[in-house]
Amino acid sequence: MFSALATVSGLHFHYGRFLPKQKWRPVVHPAWQPPVKVEVHDTEEKGSDVNLASHLLNDAHHDRFDTAFVVSQDTDLCEPIRMVKEMGKPVGVAWLDGQRPGQRMVKASSFVRQVTYQRLKAAQFPERVMARNGKIIERPDTWV
């Protein structure tokens, strides 16, 4: 999935994980009395936001970037973004849907950019990319 990104020199991946589990949740239907519960499959993301925040702060502290750009709508990241901005490093936030970001995210960051379909399309890798091992990676037709 990340093979084309792995061709970018100096890029490192820091993964979180998804924890699958089953939970009992109430059904949303006001006429059902008593409320009915159903067992559902659920996933919980673990570690991604903490990893991103930790590396953002560490990289800012070690002066490893001029400007950071965070692609997330997770408002848990407002504080580390604010802290990096306070260190004198600009931190932008990409907003991925048609909504405007919340005021906390706007206030914490240096700037906000809307990721539109046109910008996303223009930022894609070429149709074919050569991996470090010489293998050709082809972009799926559905990504154009």
Domains of the chain: 5-17+47-143 (3.40.50)
Distance, CA of 30 to CA of 36 (rounded, Å): 10
- Residue 66 makes CB contacts below 8 A (sequence gap 6+) with 89, 90
Q: Residue 1: what pLDDT? A: 61
Which range of 1-15, 17-31, 70-84, 96-110 scores highest in mean pLDDT? It is 70-84
- Which two three-digit tokens encode residue 18? 């998804």
Banded model confidence at residue 66, pLDDT cuts 50, 70, 90? very high
- How many angstroms separate the CA atoms of 137 and 122, rounded? 18
- Is pLDDT of 72 > 80? yes
Give residue 10's region: left, alpha or beta (phi > 0; psi -120 to 50). left
Over residues 91-118, the pLDDT tens digits come to 999 887 677 778 999 999 999 988 888 8
Q: Where are the alpha helices (DSSP H) in the chain?
A: 48-61, 78-86, 103-108, 117-122
For residue 135, give both structure tokens: 């293998």
Joined tokens for residue 23: 């939970």
Q: What is the mean pLDDT of the chain?
A: 89
The CA distances from residue 106 to 74, 84, 96, 126, in Å, are: 12, 14, 14, 32
Residues 6+ away with beta carbon under 8 Å from 124: 139, 143, 144
Q: What is the pLDDT of residue 120?
A: 82
Output the pTM of the full model. 0.74
Q: What is the pLDDT of residue 144?
A: 66
